[in-house]
Structure formats: structure tokens, C-alpha cells
Chains A and B, each alone.
Chain A
């Protein structure tokens, strides 16, 4: 009865979770404690070890949502729909964290909580699109119709996001000097190791969270199905002559 893939998720998700925990723990240890402070930015660079992987993972999460939505419109597999819904909320989480950590880094560095940096703005718009996606799913009563509409939104959003990024970049070059740049971190040996560890850790964490949430959504739907079946059997037996 339970989907084969869900069975595999139940079996293997622990591995992802464990691997994620190890990578993140190691990455944080090296990044926050063991590695030397950056020549220019001092201790502050340590936030990069969290911010950059979060941002990458958010992009990965949206890609999953985008391709999953295309797949869903094509094949209409309800498990894929569950996965899309899971990816969207987790992507929103990672995006928010990326924005917050970015903001925390920005304040001491540029003395401002917010700047119209293209990537920052793109991520904010991404968060707005995801917010719309989550609201949309809540407001549609019919699950199947909601899945379809949400997939449409995710696809349009996915095509739009690169265009948004370009337009904000062009706009920025006109209005603000390029001295502010999140690309200010120079990549040296010491930084690479914890950064890679954290990136892989965040990806694994994302995979783990998506698996868990997809499983929850799938089982919830299954429960509704069983409840519905039970109720309809009552309905059938009461009204059959």
C-alpha cells in the first residue's frame, strides 16, 4: 500500500541525516573555531561559512521545486507533488536564513542592514514567490487542483528568477557603485575546506529535510484517503437499498 519510494525514504533518510550532521558539525567546528580569521574581515568571515552554503542550498531547493513541478504537470504523480510542497517550504526556510545571515554579515561590514545588492534582492523576491506558493496551496481546497496551480507558479517563477537577477544587476550598475559586493571574500586554502564541508552538509541536510517532510505529507494524504474510504463505506452501506 505504501509507495515503494516512501519505504526507501524511511530506510535511508537516517543516513542522510547522519551524514549531514557530521559534515555540518565538522564544518562548523573548523569554520568557527579552528580556522584562522580572514586577513581583511577578521572574525566576521565566519558567517560566510553559514551564509554561503545556505544560499547555495536555497538555489538547489528551488531547482528541485522547479523541475519537480514540470515533472508533476507531465506525469501527475502525487508523490512528486508532495515533494514539491516539501521543497517549497524548506527552500523558504533556507532562503530566510540566508537573508538573515547575509544581513548580519552586512551590518558590521558595510554599516547597513540592507543593501540593494542583486543577489540580496533576488533572494528576497524568491522568498516572496515562495510565500505566494505556500499561501496558494493553503487557499485551494482541492488538493489536485492546488498542486497543479502551485506547479504553474513554480515554473513561471523559475523562469523569471534569472531574469529578475539580471534586471536587478543592470539596475544596480546604474545606481550604486560596485564597491559593495558579496563576492568580497577571497578564496584561500583555509576557507575552502570548511566551506565545502558546510556546503555538502547543507545539501545533505536539505535532502534529509525534504525526505522527512515528503514522507509526512504522503502519509497525511494516505490517512485522509483511508479516512475518506472509511467514511464513504459508511455512506455506501447506509444508503444502499
Chain B
């Protein structure tokens, strides 16, 4: 069965379905906006304090928003028993996994790119030089969250209390991504030289590679009995 064609079909299907309703993206954006507002009320910050905390706030917002998108990734397969058809499909399960990771990655990254200017606005950040590096950080961290998140989204979709279980299972495992993303973002926003925080980017890359491979391999056991 064609491997890359399968990935293409899955990505196409998820993107088109989302484009027609814009349900997932709008709920993600709306939720993120609320999170940003709540954070700005909770911490009354001057410039210096903002600089310290903002990286953490950004990644908390992105992660919780991402979890919404990850959850919808497989709950959308529950309509009309489509999950069953994926289970029965002769297409290689690894390709289905990669297709879902790609789609989730694109959704999450789009939301992050749309939201980041709001952060810049609300918290008066100075980001011109750092944009390229920030994009790399967003890319790597989102890929890591997608890789593990898609695996656990598929795992939790068929169990009770699935909306609770996805963050409960995913967040402890995503700790390295969170730490690395926050540290790297903080470094980039503070204008530190790249060598100061390049170790975190390395960590993100290694995490991404390891967990994409591991999840790719384990995904088969979720759909199959």
C-alpha cells in the first residue's frame, strides 16, 4: 500500500474538513486568547518581570491550546465510525500516524503564528531580531508535542473521560519539550547569543526524532488488537 499517498490523503482530509468548518482552529484561538488575557490580569508586570515570565506564559498557552487540537484530531474520527474504517484500512498504520501528526502540527503551528503577534502586542515584546530563531523553536517544540500528542490522542479516544486523560497522560511526558521551549524562547527574546540556548534546541531536536520514531512504531498497537 502506498505509504506517502496515505499520508497525503490523511493530511488532505483533515485540512479540508477543518477549512470547511474552522471549528477546531477557532476554538483553539479563542481559548488561547482567554488564556493570554487571564495571564495578563493575574500577573501585573513591568517590562523586566514580563521578560522573565513571558516565555513560560507563551508555552503554557500554546500547550493547552495544542491539547484541544490534538483531542479533536481523533474525536473527529468517531463520527460515523470512521475510526473503524481506519482500523480496517489496508493502508500502513505508520502512514496514518504520520499523516495525523502532520495535520496536527500544521494546525498547532498556524495557531501559534497567529497568536504570537498578540503576545508581542500585549506584553510589548521586542522581537525583530529573534523572529527566525523563534520560528525554529516553535517548529521543533510543536513537532515534539504533535508526535507524542497524536499517539496519546489515538490512545485516549476510545476510553472514558478522554478529554481529561489526554492532558493527564501527555503533560508529564511533554516536560522536556516545555522546559526546552521555554528556555530557548526566553533566550531568544532576551537577545542572548545563540550559543547560550542552543543546547535547548538540540534537546528539542533529539526529543522530536526519538519520539516520532517511538510513536510511529507504537501507533500500530493502538488501532490493532
- CB–CB A149/B159 < 8 A: yes
**A155's contact among B165, B176, B183, B218, by CB below 8 Å, is which?**
B218
- CB–CB B168/A135 < 8 A: yes
| B 210-221 to A, binary, CB cutoff 8 A, 1 in contact else 0 | 110011001001
Contacts of A107-164 to chain B: CB distance below 8 A: 125, 128-129, 131-132, 135-136, 139-141, 144-145, 148-149, 151-153, 155-157, 159-160, 163-164
Interface residues on A, range: 20 to 34
Which residues does chain B contribute within 8 Å of A136, judged by CB atoms?
159, 165, 169
Say whether, besides A160-B176, A168-B179, A171-B179, A135 and B165 are in contact (CB < 8 Å): yes
- CB–CB A163/B207 < 8 A: yes
Residue of B nearest to A131 (CB): B168
- CB–CB A153/B176 < 8 A: no
A interface majority secondary structure: helix
Interface residues of B (CB under 8 A from A): 148, 151, 155, 158-161, 165, 168-169, 171-173, 175-176, 179-180, 183, 199-200, 203, 206-207, 210-211, 214-215, 218, 221-222, 225
* Interchain Cβ contacts under 8 Å between A and B, 17 examples: A128-B172, A129-B172, A131-B168, A132-B165, A139-B161, A140-B159, A152-B155, A152-B222, A157-B173, A160-B175, A163-B207, A163-B210, A167-B175, A167-B203, A168-B179, A170-B200, A174-B183
Interface residues of A (CB under 8 A from B): 73, 125, 128-129, 131-132, 135-136, 139-141, 144-145, 148-149, 151-153, 155-157, 159-160, 163-164, 166-168, 170-171, 174
